[in-house]
Structure 1
């Protein structure tokens, strides 16, 4: 069922005539239910043209989409990178990563092709092939997208245009009345990703698939904001540009409508090309393994003993345990924690010292109790200097409990003493009566 009514016709005609795509028209007309967005772009284009047939000027002056190659994306599926397997570059020599370049459509002046090209089934399949080739083990996932900040500027311009036209009819349109681009994108793509990968999309999943978009052609759209509201754009660590999405949104909330209109066209101009995909990245949240270790060597440090770049001892407790865990979990790195410390020449006996290891970005995360038991045995057989017990997968919170227990735990020390005379009962009583000051 087509979601627009006669009441929406004027706004739909205005937006479509200035180069806005059908899905963005739905957003500005307040269509807040999922079904209409999920139809293919070709279907939506036909439907909107039929809806506006009495008033539509079919000769749209926008240039056609720039044709592109998908060879790099496809090559990456057949030959995944060994060094950067989690991060896939999709741009080469300015090529535009658009999966449906054969569609005879114009690039939307608001979403820059996001709701045209990048929510169709062909693109979803390409992303899913990358995910499956990444080697991660997962039963659910979080899907996230990062859009170029200039999309917020273009949406603001389109909102001011529609708001002005609706005002002529004594109607109002608040910014919150517009369906957010990211929401609409999720409505369309979540079911497609879930169906293609065969797993649910769960906001609490530790496995995340992220797609980062860019649009070099319009990167200057935000620059006028920096001149008018410089306080909104402060340099930040790990940010290549001051024009972040949050900074742009902050500026758009502050700028006066008349100042915006003087600096930026309403409606926004139509671009020549769709967005590019900067990267498709897979990452898994850390998992934690804990247990206890005994140390039997008097020549083994707890952590690698390196001074001025020179290794003092051949190995350490940390290395003897972590090397096995890194291999089995296929993790990128680790962080080791111990409940207290002991000197190099001190053994750790009894029930052993508690330890925990955080495995960063592991590719394998699901283990049976038998597999964990076998991993423990493998560690113990690999060296006579240490033994591990009670090895288990734990939560992040359990690591905090281990640290809290450092202040409360009880240690027992034993020592062998030689004397020149036989120890009498009165000597023991004398020692027991000594008070610690």
Structure 2
């Protein structure tokens, strides 16, 4: 292991890009950095050793040996660490066990991905402490500490992504599919940058953090602002507020936030609802379930088990009421599987879910279930205003209609009927009180027996069919009750078709 570091040091010396003429000077600089209390990897950083395999050496002793550092017995870290106490420069973030821990957590999630984009956020005190090491380096004639030092973030990214590749076979790439976001915090040093705010003495009108003209230091300033202010702060002014080299710390930085986030997987299809009293999504009012089943749960739960996602959302091309059946070739829908661990879903696995619902005589069935690209989900929204729907309703009239009235209604229905529909009373609590023109493209009424009739309706999207039948206290005109000249009520309603090509039929498919 020491050979790895020694080879890297020799390569730097031979390249002519080193601040040092020979290994003796590197030894002298390394010992001074060691006296600052820096960990083995931060010593490598501040002698400007390029990021590479040397940083993955898991023995502080091996690094010390390669650099010629004689470590004190009481300052030798154990085999699992690179520093006895948390490093005052990197705040313990470069301890290899930190990267190991995060990689272990990622592995446990078992994502079937080959690439990930890694985002890292460090405590702002890292930048204050880096400046303190730089100043101490200049004071003690350590030229490599002054500039072009590999950053903590870049070294940690290297350590983490190397382990990620070895343990999980996942490469760090700029991908839109998988993100790993790691944020560190260090409460012990969280206010070290605040002197920069006070030093600037910005006008009260420029800061929302001022009260009565007195500046209130903020711990939430961005990295960019901190670095900008540090660049404008002279060394002599900096040393008035900060110790150089940076003082020892008692606690290491902690992982404040660790987020594994993958782009959603979309499953599209068409669902049939063969029974009534099933809502499209869970129907809960004041903590009480109003329907036992929902379409979303019947389809979503087996998908959730297969894909191992955090959650799922069903989006339908419109929705029928819970007491309305969805028949015919079904209603177009897609399910968004959020943060899926398993994306390599096969057609056979999807077909199995479809078949299981069929064989179990589930009241919710699916057709054409398939993985769809994210762009195809827009078809559901874009088709909202252009699709047509077919309904069949069982209607009761207060008295039987004479044959002439039946012919009159059907003749009118063949030519289409333009409705003026005010927002129905039943949805006024969640919809704006507007009047919306809606066209029924065809209405066909037929007698069953006595006062019972069947009406078939083809309408444009958004028409309220129940309200068309009974009139909704005069809020829908004309209504079927108006046309019949008697009171009417709707007993049962079925949706028999939604004319939207979704999931989209492949262009080379002959239908």
Question: Using the alignment, how far apart are the partners of 1:215 and 1:341 within structure 2?
Answer: 50
Q: Which has the larger radius of gyration?
A: 2
Shift of residue 341 of structure 1?
A: 1.9
Contact 2:48 2:145 (8 Å CA) reproduced: no
Q: Secondary structure at the match of 1:221?
A: coil
Q: Which one has more relative contact order, counting CA pairs under 8 Å at least 6 apart?
A: 1
Contact 2:99 2:159 (8 Å CA) reproduced: no
Residue 287 to residue 383, structure 1, CA distance change in 2 (3 Å): same
* Residue of structure 1 aligned with 2:157, choices 178, 186, 192: 186
Alignment partner of 1:45 is 2:64: yes
Q: How does 1:3-402 map to 2 (within 5 A)?
A: 3-5=11-13, 7-8=19-20, 9=25, 12=29, 15-21=33-39, 23-28=41-46, 30-32=48-50, 34-40=52-58, 41-49=60-68, 64=75, 100-101=80-81, 107-115=86-94, 117-118=95-96, 127-134=102-109, 136-162=111-137, 177-204=148-175, 206-208=177-179, 213-225=184-196, 227-228=198-199, 243-244=219-220, 247-255=222-230, 256-257=233-234, 258-272=236-250, 274-276=252-254, 282=260, 284-402=262-380
Q: Which blocks of at least 5 consecutive residues in structure 1 are unaligned?
A: 51-57, 68-98, 236-240
Q: Secondary structure at the match of 1:371?
A: helix
Q: C-alpha deviations, 1:366-395, integer Å up to 9, x for none?
A: 322111100112233445432211112233
Residue 376 to residue 333, structure 1, CA distance change in 2 (3 Å): same
Q: Which residue of 2 aligns with 1:96?
A: none
Residue 358 to residue 63, structure 1, CA distance change in 2 (3 Å): farther
Contact 1:326 1:359 (8 Å CA) reproduced: yes
Q: C-alpha deviations, 1:181-236, integer Å up to 9, x for none?
A: 1112222332233112234334427455565545454444344445446989989x
* Bigger mean CA deviation after superposition, 150-159 or 321-330: 321-330
Contact 2:178 2:261 (8 Å CA) reproduced: yes
Q: Secondary structure at the match of 2:293?
A: coil
Q: Which blocks of at least 5 consecutive residues in structure 2 are unaligned?
A: 1-6, 210-216, 420-511
TM-score, reference length from structure 2: 0.61
Count of residue pairs brought into register by the alignment = 383
| RMSD, matched Cα | 4.3
